Structure 1
């Protein structure tokens, strides 16, 4: 505390008058006047009083004077400590603010995080839904972050915030998202504003819980397709068939027009290049959030049947609404008149249909539209598709996403694989499937050889 002795001056000492005694309500009351600063910034005196508790008689005056001195000394000590603490805070802030470092590091986490979010908003390409997610994570982090400048936040503080988030009952997924936002915020503080070290370094990021896998097995997949094909082809039924047969998302289904479908029937493949997504002013039709989402999916006979069945139903809906026939720019699962269906509305319609029919996946949970997408990916791999092709059809940026998130274990496929191993161990004759596998392997080797030889 040597720095405090060097900086302390007479002006820093509290200016307090000598104490005096007054009789009030039969007791000795001590009075002192303290000099401070008024609302106008000018010096102002204010009077403090203290009841000594002694009866106002001459016999007790000396005791009352002693009580007054002790009370005045306590006021001086308290005022001195307050001034010293204020000077210590200023000194700490000065130490934490090296030369050439941004003044923003003196902000609290909440204010700096809001600044970071404004920077994110100014960057083109960040989806409004992503920004809203960031805002929610920041509010959760700020609620538990200590009231310190950014430069003073420690690794222990970050660990305490994570513990508090878990104590509130939030999931591992939420905690991981919050941690990722905190890492990004402090990374900017390091790279842009000169923070010496991110307090997130050394903090173990929570392991995200595995995604829910509620896909259907092959028998369940076939049964559901049969049930859906026999129903009235409402938007929800059509969406379910397309998700099961092509793996498209609800946002992509909502964006499909009859022009898109007609071109798909001509080319033999459906091009996915837009989706209905939530923007700053509501839902809008725009390109997918990643380039991998722009893709072409081969059209199967079952998918063609689903599209044509929906066309017949849509013509009936348009006619009943007095809108004529669906035009090329009308939406396959949209409203008569040409407006699209909001993705959340489509999910609600499917959920109602799923619960009404008691449809459940392998985990015993009600089937969602996204579970149908999981099912399609699983069936695609079980049918022998390589992971790279499956990844492209699903619109994933990397094959690992396909394997980790979208492909469920398939008991029947595992049994077939093990039966194949057993046949080879026992030296049985190759089946037709084995012959096909050999031909495919030979063809792959020939292609690889041709590529290597130019």
Structure 2
């Protein structure tokens, strides 16, 4: 969830055949939700299948994990006897203790989805691509809901603006100039070099 931004129900419904290791993708084709102890299978939220990229580190773990799985077996199973991985049991069995041990008491698995989105945006991923990865209806939803900014994001913005200003000052930013001036507007070069 922290690497791919899957929802709990999407993770719980993934089968071995949904992992395309050659393309480094997980195919989200269904979801399972539990309400009052009853499991209901259906289409993912938004009723759209999607392809989710898998970074190299979890891909290697996934590759070794899939070696002994049949194509119709679930990727994530319950701790005892297989079956669907259920959120409350998973949390009681160790997730909550592990989160508290690293200083994240109260963390819930769904927050790992937010982590994936935030990390993707912070690393420079295109917001529209992150939107597709998460299965959101709009990029605005992605930014408003999942892509919390980190404290150093504003420092990175300042550094990029410094780089752009240095390029203009040093005459390296001719590509920033407009083809034509609009009435009442100065060119980019004039604005950035006029003091």
Normalised-by-shorter TM-score class: 0.7 to 0.9
Give distance in 2, aligned partners of 1:305 and 1:367.
26
TM-score with structure 1 setting the length: 0.34
**Residues 419/252 of structure 1: CA separation in 2 closer, same or farther (3 Å cut):** same
Q: More relative contact order in 1 or in 2 (CA 8 Å, sep 6+)?
A: 2
**Residues 260/287 of structure 1: CA separation in 2 closer, same or farther (3 Å cut):** same
Per the TM alignment, residue 299 of structure 1 is displaced from its structure 2 partner at its CA by 2.8
* CA contact 1:245–1:302 (8 Å) conserved in 2: no
State how 1:347-426 maps to structure 2 within 5 Å. Answer: 347-349=91-93, 350-355=95-100, 357-360=101-104, 366-426=106-166
Per the TM alignment, residue 271 of structure 1 is displaced from its structure 2 partner at its CA by 0.7
**Residues 379/346 of structure 1: CA separation in 2 closer, same or farther (3 Å cut):** same
Q: Deviations over 1:310-356 (max 9, x none)?
A: 447xxxxxxxxxxxx5432222221465521223323434223212x
Per the TM alignment, residue 394 of structure 1 is displaced from its structure 2 partner at its CA by 0.7
Structure 1's unaligned 5+ residue stretches are: 1-242, 313-324, 439-454
Give distance in 1, aligned partners of 2:125 and 2:69.
36
| Structure 2 counterpart of 1:201 | none
Higher share in helix: 1
**Residues 279/367 of structure 1: CA separation in 2 closer, same or farther (3 Å cut):** closer
TM-score with structure 2 setting the length: 0.73
Q: Deviations over 1:341-397 (max 9, x none)?
A: 223323434223212x2342xxxx543222221111011111222222111111111
**Residues 397/311 of structure 1: CA separation in 2 closer, same or farther (3 Å cut):** same
**Quick check: which has more Rg, 1 or 2?**
1
* CA contact 1:330–1:339 (8 Å) conserved in 2: no
* CA contact 2:21–2:63 (8 Å) conserved in 1: no
Per the TM alignment, residue 403 of structure 1 is displaced from its structure 2 partner at its CA by 1.1
Q: Secondary structure at the residue paired with 2:21?
A: helix
**Residues 300/281 of structure 1: CA separation in 2 closer, same or farther (3 Å cut):** closer
Give distance in 1, aligned partners of 2:64 and 2:103.
22
| Structure 2 counterpart of 1:244 | 2
Q: Deviations over 1:128-182 (max 9, x none)?
A: xxxxxxxxxxxxxxxxxxxxxxxxxxxxxxxxxxxxxxxxxxxxxxxxxxxxxxx
Matched, 1:277 2:33: yes
| Structure 2 counterpart of 1:340 | 84
Structure 2's unaligned 5+ residue stretches are: 176-195
What is the RMSD of the two structures over their aligned residues, measured on CA atoms? 2.9
Give distance in 2, aligned partners of 1:302 and 1:359.
23
Give distance in 2, aligned partners of 1:326 and 1:306.
13
Per the TM alignment, residue 296 of structure 1 is displaced from its structure 2 partner at its CA by 0.4
**Residues 310/366 of structure 1: CA separation in 2 closer, same or farther (3 Å cut):** farther
